[in-house]
Amino acid sequence: DAMVIQNPRYQVTQFGKPVTLSCSQTLNHNVMYWYQQKSSQAPKLLFHYYDKDFNNEADTPDNFQSRRPNTSFCFLDIRSPGLGDAAMYLCATSRDQGGSTYEQYFGPGTRLTVT
């Protein structure tokens, strides 16, 4: 089945130690998104890629970076995690063709713990 995969499902890192979260998709969607979600709150969009074009949300801290080496993969890098960065991180994809964007498909998320 076509899907969005996130690895690992659970990640523990130390305060200040860089960490990378991974997302891959078999849907061949051209748009990929990264969200941060805390405690059953609404997901907060961090940034997204439209093809190779990176789009950062205005309030996303510089501590968060992303890479998209190809259509299928996208990475979230947290350069110096703080305790406040502990959250669920969700990857999503969608297809945008000819100005019409379709619904987003979400991965299962990575639960990040910062010790």
Q: What residues line the site for other proteins (CB under 8 A)?
A: 4, 6, 31, 40-43, 45, 48, 50, 55, 90, 92, 94, 96, 98-109, 111
- Chain centre distance of CA 87: 12
- Torsion angle (degrees, nearest 10) of CA 62, 51, 101, 37: -30
Only one residue has tokens 């992303």, namely: 66
d(CA 84, CA 51): 30
Q: What minimum distance in Å lies between the beta carbon of 16 and other proteins?
A: 27
Q: What minimum distance in Å lies between the beta carbon of 76 and other proteins?
A: 14
Assess whether the previous peptide bond of 8 is cis (omega < 30° from 0): yes
Token code pair at residue 3? 């899907």
Whose Cβ is closer to other proteins: residue 69's or residue 99's? 99
Whose Cβ is closer to other proteins: residue 15's or residue 102's? 102
Whose Cβ is closer to other proteins: residue 65's or residue 108's? 108
Q: What minimum distance in Å lies between the beta carbon of 83 and other proteins?
A: 21
